[in-house]
Amino acid sequence: MAEAPAQTAARSVDDIKRDPLVADAVARVADAIVDAKEFAGEITLTVAKDRIRDVAQSFKDDGFTYLVDLAGLDYSKYPNWKGERFAVAYMLYSFKKNARIRLKTFTSDAIPTVTTVWKTANWHERETFDMLGIKFDGHPNLERILMWEGFNGHPLRKDFPVRGIDTGARIYPEVFPEGGGPKAGSTGKDVKDVNVYKGEWKDYGTWPAAALPAAPKPAAAAPKPAAPAPQIAGEVEEGEVEN
């Protein structure tokens, strides 16, 4: 129906900003909108990350009362990508206009929360934090939601292997002791001392990956014979197509 791709003549950024759908909301926060795109009839506005809450509030006041979805993305393996590593996309819907728009903001570590604007953002932001490790400043309860408390790594990051990890010990051995992870009797946060790594969490620095510090050799520990790590699934290379 109303989704015939409107790709005939790509509109310029200013034209999209003047679209009657978003013009009112954009006018109030014009300086925060850094880019605008249109694909398949959907408008995507790129927002400066420090202003996301103002922009969200402006759109909510303009009728976009329903935050449909909040999705995090890891752009580190995107072809020819030069921007910041992570993005967060906000899908908004207006009941009055019966229309959707998308806000998008890029970050390398943290952005302000929008839970103060929409209550529903709470779990979405927790999930994005859990899956991608993007922090949401000002979130009332930013803890893991799908993975267990103490899980090491963020599964939807592109450098996380699809076959999974041995409860944290395999991909970040310098951070997480071997055999870490949940054990019988663990109930999460309130018993944090049962099996959760107690040392300092390591700062992995900023993307790109070349900037990552080399993993230090485990000092003093006798180098073990290279016992092959248990394979959870077959060898699947990152990004390889399996079907």
Partner 1 sequence: MFDVHEMEVNFGPQHPSTHGVLRILLKIDGERIVEAKPIIGYLHRGTEKLFEHMTYPACIPHTDRMDYIAAATNNLGFVEAVEKLMGVTAQIPRRAQLMRVMLSELQRISSHLLWLATHAIDIGAMTPFFYCFREREQVLDLFEIYCGARLTLNCMRIGGMPDDLPAGWLEDLEAFTAKFDAAVDEYESLLTNNRIWKRRTVGIGVISAEDAIDWGITGPPLRGSGVEWDLRRAQPYECYPELQFEIPVGKNGDTYDRYLVRMAEMRQSNRILKQCIPLVKATPAGEIKAKISRVIRPPEGEIYHSIESPKGELGYYIVSDGKTQTAYRCRVRPPSFVNLQALPAMAKGHLVSDLVALIGTIDIVLGEVDR
Where does this chain touch partner 1 (CB under 8 A) — which range of 17-25, 46-54, 98-106, 200-208?
Answer: 98-106
Give phi and psi for 35, each to the nearest 5: -155, 160
Applying CB under 8 A, the span of 24-32, 142-150, 192-200, 210-218 interacting with partner 1 comes to: 142-150
Q: Confirm or reject binding of residue 12 to partner 1 (CB under 8 A).
A: no
Q: Is 82 in the site for partner 1 (CB under 8 A)?
A: no
Of residues 42-81, those binding partner 1 (CB under 8 A): 42, 44, 65-69, 71, 73-74, 78-79
Q: Closest approach of Cβ 217 to partner 1, in Å?
A: 30
CA distance 204 to 212: 6
Q: How far is CA 47 from CA 43, 55, 75, in A?
A: 13, 8, 17
Q: Is 40 in the site for partner 1 (CB under 8 A)?
A: yes
Nearer to partner 1, 4 or 221 (CB): 4
Encode burial over 89-103: b for 16+ CB neighbours within 10 A, e otherwise: bbbbbbeeeebbbbb
Q: Which residues bind partner 1 (CB under 8 A)?
A: 1-5, 7, 39-40, 42, 44, 65-69, 71, 73-74, 78-79, 89, 91, 95, 98, 100, 102, 118-120, 122-124, 127, 131, 144-148, 155-156, 160, 162, 164, 188, 236, 239-243
